Chain A
Amino acid sequence: MNTMIQAWSPDPARFFLDRRKPFLHTVSKDPKKEFAPAAEAARRIFVIDDESSIADSLTEILNNSGYEATAFYSGQSAIECARSKCPDLVLSDVIMPKLNGVETVIALRKLCPRTQVILLSGQATTADILNSARARGYHFHLLPKPIHPDRLLNELAALKKR
Chain B
Amino acid sequence: MDSTIKEVEKTATKDEGFLDPTKQEQAALRLAAIVECSEDAIISKDLNGIIATWNQAAEKILGYTEREVLGKPITIIIPPELWSQEAEILARLRAGQKIDHLKTVRMKKDGERIDVSLTISPLRDHSGKVIGASKILRDTSEQTRAEQAAFRLAAIVESSEDAIISKDLNGIVTSWNRAAERILGYKAEEIVGRTILLIIPPELHRQEADILAKLLAGERIEHFETIRMKKNRERLDVSLTISPVKDREGRVIGAAKILRDITQKKRLEAALRTSERLASVGRLAATIAHEINNPLEAVTNFVYLARHYPDLPGNVRHYLNCADEELGRVAHIAQQTLGFYRDNARPAVLEVAQVFEDVLSIYDRKFRHKELKIQRQIEPGLTICAFEGELKQILSNLLMNAVQACPDRGRIVIRARTSHHYLSGNRGVRITIADNGSGIAKGDQERIFVPFFTTKKELGTGLGLWITRELLEKKGGNIRFRSRTHPPSGTAMSIFLPVAPSETTELVA
Contacts and interface: CB of A to CB of B under 8 A. Distances in A.
Interface residues of B, number: 38
B83 interface: no
A61 B304 contact: yes
Contact of B302 (A7, A16, A124, A151): A16
A51 B306 CA distance: 19
Interface in B325-381: 327-328, 331, 334-335, 338, 341-346, 361-362
B305 A146 contact: no
Given A122-B338, A124-B338, A12 B302 contact: yes
Interface stretch (B143-151, B308-316, B430-438): B308-316
A35 interface: yes
B293 A127 contact: no
B265 interface: no
Nearest to A52: B298
A149 interface: yes
A71 to B, nearest CB: 12
A30 B312 CA distance: 13
A34 interface: yes
A134 B319 CA distance: 43
Interface size class of A (residues with CB under 8 A): 35 or more
Given A8-B313, A35-B308, A146 B341 contact: no
A142 B290 CA distance: 16
Contact of A145 (B293, B310, B319): B293
A110 interface: no
Contacts of B361: 154
B293 A146 contact: yes
Contacts of B341: 124, 127
Interface in B275-292: 286, 289-290
B342 A124 contact: yes
B152 to A, nearest CB: 62
A64 interface: yes
B310 A51 contact: no
Nearest to B301: A57
A7 B316 contact: yes
A4 B305 contact: no
A76 to B, nearest CB: 20
A114 interface: no
Given A54-B298, A61-B304, A61-B305, A130 B345 contact: yes
Interface of A: 4, 7-9, 12, 16, 23, 26-27, 30, 32-35, 51, 53-54, 57-58, 60-61, 64, 120, 122-124, 126-128, 130-131, 134, 142, 144-151, 154
Given A130-B344, A134-B346, 18 more contacts: A8-B306, A51-B294, A53-B302, A54-B301, A58-B301, A122-B290, A122-B294, A122-B296, A124-B286, A124-B290, A131-B344, A131-B345, A145-B296, A146-B297, A146-B327, A148-B300, A149-B300, A150-B304
- List 10 tightest A-B contacts by C-beta distance, closest first: A122-B293, A57-B301, A127-B344, A146-B297, A124-B341, A146-B296, A53-B298, A149-B304, A8-B316, A145-B293
Interface of B: 286, 289-290, 293-294, 296-298, 300-302, 304-306, 308-313, 315-316, 319-320, 327-328, 331, 334-335, 338, 341-346, 361-362
16 contacts: A51-B298, A53-B302, A57-B301, A58-B301, A122-B294, A122-B296, A123-B293, A124-B338, A124-B342, A127-B344, A134-B346, A144-B335, A144-B338, A145-B296, A146-B300, A147-B300
